[in-house]
Structure 1
Amino acid sequence: MEELIKALVVPLIENPEQIQILKQEDSGCITYILTVAKQDMGKVIGRNGQVVSAIRTVISSAASAEGKNIRFLIRE
């Protein structure tokens, strides 16, 4: 799943070397926390959150195909 997140995010940003993906597993839910550079934050979120919403949709679809429950968060 980390590779899918990177494949979706890297083309959007200017500093791909600063991407960090943290994986946390809770009871029945996996949380992925994406950290990007401050200047790339707006590009990942998009206008009115449309880009991050699309990323969440793709990740959720891939996770549900594997029978997993996923949350996706972004921080700088």
Structure 2
Amino acid sequence: MQELLKIIAQGLVEKPEEVSVTLDEPKEDGSVVYHLHVAEEDMGRVIGKQGRIAKAIRVVMRAAATRSSEKVVVEID
């Protein structure tokens, strides 16, 4: 899951070498929080107009998590 998020983000940004993904320990409800870190100047590319790209990334991650019976939350930092 972590690699999937990283690959998606690297395809969107100008500086793919600065993309990193960290994750928190699973919460009591079983959900895992993934933190996506990109360069400051690439933040707009990952969020998109009115957050459309960010929403799409979250939808793809939730769909992939469903296949492996996980709950995921994506935060863009």
- With normalisation by structure 2, the TM-score equals 0.92
Segments of structure 1 that go 5 or more residues without pairing to the other structure are none
Give unpaired runs (5+ residues) of structure 2: none
1:68 match: 70
Cα-to-partner distance string for 1:13-66 (whole Å, 9 max, x where unaligned): 011111111111222110000010000000000001000100000000000111
Q: Is the counterpart of residue 2 in structure 1 residue 2 in structure 2? A: yes
* Aligned sequence identity (%): 37
| Aligned: 1:21 with 2:21 | yes
TM, length-normalised to structure 1: 0.93
CA RMSD in angstroms comes to: 0.8
- Runs (4+) of structure 1 exceeding 4 A deviation are none
Mapping of residues 37-52 of structure 1, within 5 Å: 37-52=39-54
